[in-house]
């Protein structure tokens, strides 16, 4: 009986560790960039999009009160090292899916790399994916220019 309980406890701890290892957080400039790139496609209010764009272009004094959330259910980006003209991303939100190609896809792919999202490769393709992206921007902290005010959490994609 004690062995079974110990085995169950060990399995539970292993499972919790495996799930935790898949989750990640990024802060600072990389988080602001990730939120800034995703926000332009996100189904959020126009005022929030304007504020995020202003913060991302370097204007922390943009008049906005309260925190801003930028979320995406899933992001999958692909490039090819065979067909070097091929680049695309699919960004899935709760209520819509956005397909990006060309410069827009490259911008998101590069921003994910800057944020530390690992790329996988298979048969001439490079993939970056994540799930459950949740970025929070705090205008008051951004205004202080102290390095804080942007945080994103996500899970590694499949």
Distance of CA 130 to the CA centre of its chain: 7
Looking at residue 2, what is its pLDDT? 52
- Successive 10-residue mean pLDDT values, the chain, 158 residues: 42 40 88 97 96 95 93 96 93 96 96 91 85 97 94 89
Using DSSP, state whether 34 is helix, strand or coil.
helix
Of 100, 75, 74, 96, give the one whose Cα is nearest residue 87. 100
Looking at residue 158, what is its pLDDT? 66
Using DSSP, state whether 63 is helix, strand or coil.
coil
Angle between helices 102-114 and 28-39 (to 10 degrees): 160
CB atoms under 10 Å from CB of 149, counted, come to 22
Looking at residue 121, what is its pLDDT? 78
The DSSP bridge partners found for residue 99 are 90
């Amino acid at each position: 009986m004690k062995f079974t309980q110990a085995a169950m406890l060990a399995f539970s701890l292993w499972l919790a560790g495996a799930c935790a290892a898949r989750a990640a957080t990024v802060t600072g400039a990389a988080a602001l960039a990730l939120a800034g790139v995703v926000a332009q496609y996100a189904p959020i209010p126009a005022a929030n999009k304007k504020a995020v764009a202003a913060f991302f272009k370097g204007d922390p004094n943009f008049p906005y009160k309260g925190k801003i959330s930028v979320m995406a259910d899933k992001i999958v980006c692909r490039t090819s090292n065979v067909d070097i003209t091929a680049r695309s991303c699919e960004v899935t939100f709760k209520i819509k899916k956005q397909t990006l190609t060309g410069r827009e896809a490259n911008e998101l792919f590069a921003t994910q790399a800057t944020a530390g999202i690992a790329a996988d490769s298979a048969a001439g393709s490079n993939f970056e994916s994540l799930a459950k992206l949740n970025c929070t921007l705090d205008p008051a902290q951004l205004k202080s220019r102290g390095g804080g005010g942007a945080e994103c959490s996500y899970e590694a994609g499949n």
